[in-house]
Amino acid sequence: MSLGDKIKNKRKTNKLTQKELGKSVGVSEAAISQYESNTRHPDWETIQKIANTLKVNPYYFLDIDEETETKDILEVLESSNLTLEGKLLTVEEKERAIQIIKLMLNTKDTQ
């Protein structure tokens, strides 16, 4: 089941309209419609607000078991169809993200 389908199903289970969910979360009715139709993806903060309103763990929407699922960040970044704020990342953008993460992890905090 897609992220949008999960949001829609839980919204209906909670007997909320798209407008009501949007108001509770702080986004427009149109944004909720786009999330549900998978034409736009909410950021992590919005997923958390949606989950809170719909009374589910935010990881439910992402098919992740918060306590047992671990993934290597490089594998995730190298996978296809990654988005950032609804925009599909290019190969070059993924490569830059990997370089930045590697740089961050290799830099010691000297403070």
How would DSSP label each residue in 43-103? -HHHHHHHHHHHTS-GGGGGT--TTT----HHHHHHSSS-EETTEEPPHHHHHHHHHHHHH
The domain tally of the chain equals 2
Q: In this structure, are 50 and 78 located in the same domain?
A: no
What pLDDT does residue 76 have?
73
CATH number, domain containing residue 45: 1.10.260.40
Q: In terms of residue numbers, what domain contains 29?
A: 3-62
Residue type, 3: L
Q: In this structure, are 42 and 78 located in the same domain?
A: no
* Average pLDDT of span 48-76: 77
Q: What is the pLDDT of residues 18-55, one digit of tens each?
A: 999 999 999 999 999 999 999 999 999 999 999 999 99
Within-domain flag for 53: yes
Report the run of H or E that residue 33 belongs to, with start and end: helix 29-36
Q: In this structure, are 77 and 48 located in the same domain?
A: no
